[in-house]
Amino acid sequence: MRSGLRRIGHGRFVGNGEERQRVQPAARVWLKPSVLWLLAAGTVGAALWLLMPSSEGNLAQNQPVKVALASVDPAPMVSASYFPPGEAAGLDRMKISSQTWRRGGLGSKALVTFTVRNDNDYAVKDVEIVCAFTRRNGSHLTDRSRVISDMVGIKSRKTFARIPIGFVNVNAEQAKCSLVTARRA
């Protein structure tokens, strides 16, 4: 006589003629010793990496960067033929008359549009500008500089449109650009 139990594998019996597949507990499948060791090593490695001090060569993003703005003494009152080409130009008669900025490059780059006014008796080239970016409340975020190799003519002005200045912080809301140096053309 049969008792109605059948063996379905690994010594397990099922009664009343029902066949079921054996389901292993999740702990046996996922918590094998090799997987546990790998998980523990990854956790310890991540914790050690987070606790390591940052390298001294990198600056934290919340620390302001100090930029020294250099100004060149105005040229002495001598005829223009006295100065060889490529000499530093005086910034006292040059200024940025208008400026705007916007984001580009998926919002991470600053594109500055500005007009340089040259009231000197000579043309200038290699105009270097520095732009200071701030938050809405006026706190300083970062400074970026750029040298524009175009020439600005004698007693004229030139507009430079959408010049990429560099990467800026996501929180930057305002920018103020200044002239740093220029050379005689």
Q: Could you give the CA distance from residue 118 to residue 152 in angstroms, rounded to a whole number? A: 7
Residues 111 and 153 in one domain: yes
71 within some domain: no
* Residue position matching structure tokens 């919340």: 62
Q: Could you give the CA distance from residue 12 to residue 5 in angstroms, rounded to a whole number? A: 10
* Residue position matching structure tokens 């914790």: 47
Q: Could you give the CA distance from residue 42 to residue 48 in angstroms, rounded to a whole number? A: 10
Q: How do residues 19-32 score in pLDDT, each as one tens digit? A: 555 555 555 555 67
Mean residue pLDDT of the chain comes to: 75
Q: Where are the alpha helices (DSSP H) in 14-71?
A: 26-30, 33-51
Strand residues in 55-139 grouped as ranges (E): 94-104, 109-118, 124-134
114 within some domain: yes
The confidence score (pLDDT) of residue 2 equals 54
Q: What's the domain range around 94?
A: 80-184
Q: What's the number of domains the chain is made of?
A: 2
60 within some domain: no
Residues 176 and 92 in one domain: yes
Q: Quick one: pLDDT band at residue 10, thresholds 50, 70, 90?
A: low
Residues 47 and 92 in one domain: no
Q: Quick one: pLDDT band at residue 80, thresholds 50, 70, 90?
A: very low
DSSP letter for 88, please. B
Residues 107 and 30 in one domain: no
Backbone angles phi, psi at 103, to 5 degrees: -90, 150
